[in-house]
Chains A and B, each alone.
Chain A
Amino acid sequence: MSEGTHASPPLLEVKDLVRHFPVRSSGVVRRTIGQVRAVDGVTFTVHEGSSLGLVGESGCGKSTTGRVITRLLDPTSGSVTFDGRDIATLSQKQMRDVRRDIQIIFQDPYTSLNPRHTVGSIVGAPLEVHDIVPRNEVLTRVQELLERVGLNPEHYNRYPSEFSGGQRQRIGIARALALNPKLIVADEPVSALDVSIQAQVINLMEELKRDLGIAFLFIAHDLAIVRHFCPEIAVMYLGKIVEIGPREWVYDQPHHPYTQALLSAVPDIKQAALGGRRGRIKLEGDVPSPINPPSGCRFRTRCWKAQDICAQEEPPLLQISPGHQAACHFAEPMDQALESAGALGTRGTITSN
């Protein structure tokens, strides 16, 4: 199961990445009255041919991170090093070459395909833009790609509306594959699909990872899918990474209370079948506004362990074990956390289910 995560050289290194969106007042003179701190200092590495899962609730900044890396959005500060080259400051013109190597798969297969273009022209567009193959061979290549993602190659002249959600997502994957990228940013690629279709699409991506050696940055809110797909996991909360490490560590020995809460919310069929009971940490309250995040630790407003120090000092990412880091003043293993959540149960309550 465990792939040697650091055996391959780093492909994408994101360092202190920040993306703020200005909030402007309405009216004639539009002053900037605040910043939405969507991504606020994020650091991680994706290795060649490997994949990193970026997990978090909606609004935590994971999709923004993906869009900054693909330069659909410009970063406010920080560096994005791809293949040894800082792409955070490249102009859109200079980005053109890099775009061949970084592609994106979108969440919604209904809006990510142009309804007025045929499948052939959707998948063929990258080939034509970058002159990958001679004009007269575009069709052949498109058919190869359609076949590669499990679609009928004869359907190249059909429109997206003639396909189901899963098939559409396959078309989106074929488009991303057309340029032979080294990295694919998959922005919740299966969350819009039925569960039975999700497995098919995940398996297709698994094949591509294995056969073509493509690295993935897999953005998701679903812990189970990421666990299946990614040897490395990063958990985001309010624009920051709170825990990062190999999946065995993050899933079996989570140390950050937020990760622990997320994991305890995942229904575990195996345990239920064995008649086992497991504690469940229920988080109370909502995610605070990223315009005005809490001082110190951003999770403290919902954390059952919060002390004075949490409001004063922002906890850095501290090493728990090699490659496994968590940003908490009171990092501790899961079983102890369940205990403390039950003992102190004021903000977090523990229930058996």
Chain B
Amino acid sequence: MSEVREAAEPVAAGDVPEEKARSLRAETWRQFRRHRLAVVGLAVLTLFTVAVIVGPWLIPFDPYYIDARTANLAPTLTHPMGTDELGRDQLARVLIGGRLTLAVSAAAVLVALIVGVAVGAVAGYAGGFPDNALMRVVDVFYALPGLFIVILLVALIGPTFWTIVIAIAVLSWMNTARLVRSSFLSLKEKEFVEAARTVGVSDARIVLRHILPNAFSPVIVAATLGVANAILIESSLSFLGLGFQPPEATWGGMLSESKSAVISLGQWWRGLFPGLMIFITVLSTNFIGDGLRDALDPRSAGNKGGRA
């Protein structure tokens, strides 16, 4: 006994360097900042968001005001993105349309996230029959001819904000469900979950407080990439005439309206600017997603969670 006791004195208590004592969030942000393109993407997306919120008040044109005198103008200093065949200022429409496009995408991703996380968490944590049943539902949704369902939905209920949000969410929640389920499957076997159980923590609390925070990194990445996907779905809906109806503007809708003007009249500015907005936004969110994935992945982020 005594030979062991002698070695026991140097109890390591205060030897954690102060500068290491930063939170996980700060560490993640530090990792994220190292990803140049992600930072650029975040800056661009922030700029766009601010622009579509305050922009329409700052420019002197009404996006819905029809004026035959200014129809079909190529870009000038007064109309930097030109005008359409009804004489509406394109910049004003791009800004007001961005509001809808971004809002619909964000809402759709949020709905998809909530449904996907709920389904995935229940399936992964419960296992057995509930898991099997829920995953078959996921398979069914994957197998559904997406666009057909959306067309049906929009045709039956009409193209309101929430129909379109639901339509996009219905097409995109399954990825999140699968991701969350697989994270839960491995996390629920971890000893810290067993520890919570021996302490007497309830199942609901284990799921919400102990497992979910650890399962969230892939979900956040998927959600970011989902925003890009949602913008594209909304654009294709509008392009097919199933999105928001005129005179409402969205980027996809403007692109759709510009088809004949670009092709037969050569009015390149009609298609270029809304298309460019979609392109840049999708690219930015993808970069942000990449950056987040690198920052949240414990293998790439220093000693977070892993063995030092």
Chain A positions near chain B (C-beta within 8 angstroms): 1, 67, 70, 72, 95-96, 99-100, 102-104, 106-108, 110-117, 125-126, 129-130, 150-152, 155, 158-159, 161-164, 166-167, 172, 175, 178-179, 196, 199-200, 202-204, 228
Contact = CB atoms under 8 A, between A and B. Distances in A.
A200 B8 contact: yes
Contacts of A204: 8
A113 B23 CA distance: 16
Given A152-B13, A152-B14, A175-B195, A203 B5 contact: yes
B199 A175 contact: yes
A115 B13 contact: no
A104 B14 contact: no
B13 A129 contact: no
Interface residues of B, number: 36
Contact of B305 (A103, A115, A164): A115
B200 A99 contact: yes
Nearest to A114: B192
Given A104-B194, A161-B305, A203-B4, 6 more contacts: A67-B194, A104-B195, A162-B21, A163-B16, A178-B199, A199-B8
Nearest to B305: A115
Nearest to A203: B8
Contacts, number: 102
A199 B7 CA distance: 7
A129 B198 contact: no
B34 interface: no
B214 A200 contact: no
Interface in B187-207: 190-192, 194-202
Nearest to B216: A116
A126 B205 CA distance: 13
Nearest to A121: B209
A146 to B, nearest CB: 9
A126 B192 CA distance: 13
Interface of B: 1, 4-5, 7-8, 11-14, 16, 20-21, 23-24, 190-192, 194-202, 210, 213-214, 298, 303-308
Contacts of B20: 162
A162 B16 contact: yes
A66 to B, nearest CB: 11
A96 B8 contact: no
B125 to A, nearest CB: 14
Most chain B CB within a 10 A radius of its CB, from A108, A116, A200: A116
A15 to B, nearest CB: 22
Contacts of A95: 200
A155 to B, nearest CB: 7
Contacts of B202: 129
